[in-house]
């Protein structure tokens, strides 16, 4: 799987956890669905392609400010849950980030 695909899966999983916990929604609510679509689109357009670092470590801030705040909130919230719900994905993510 490519880096970009891998990271898309992480981002979608994190938004999924966030929405399930915060919005009590079994599937993504419209707001989270929009954020998910936005995040995936940004990843598809990432100019670093397969050499990219994770977005949290990236020097290029390609997110529009309001989306950036939202995705930061999602990451902060879902980070600890990822180890519980998606441990393999979370550990891979940590290994690749550092």
Contact footprint for Zn ion (CB under 5 A): 19, 23, 29, 32
Using the minimum distance from each CB to Zn ion, give the nearer residue, 25 or 96. Answer: 25
In angstroms, give the least distance from the CB of 24 to Zn ion.
9
Q: Can you state the angle between helices 3-22 and 65-85, rounded to 10 degrees?
A: 90
Using the minimum distance from each CB to Zn ion, give the nearer residue, 13 or 32. Answer: 32
CB contact at 8 A, 36 and 18: no
In angstroms, give the least distance from the CB of 49 to Zn ion.
30
Token couple for 37: 């679509």
Using the minimum distance from each CB to Zn ion, give the nearer residue, 29 or 62. Answer: 29
Among 48, 70, 55, smallest CA distance to 8 is for 55
């Amino acid at each position: 799987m490519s880096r970009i695909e891998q990271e898309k899966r992480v981002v979608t999983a994190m938004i999924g956890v966030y929405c399930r916990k915060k919005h009590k929604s079994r599937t993504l609510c419209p707001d989270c669905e929009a954020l998910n679509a936005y995040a995936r689109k940004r990843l598809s357009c990432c100019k670093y392609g397969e050499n990219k670092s994770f977005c949290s470590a990236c020097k290029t801030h390609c997110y529009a400010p309001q989306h950036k705040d939202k995705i930061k909130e999602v990451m902060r919230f879902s980070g600890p849950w990822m180890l519980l719900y998606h441990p393999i994905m979370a550990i891979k993510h940590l290994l690749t980030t550092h």
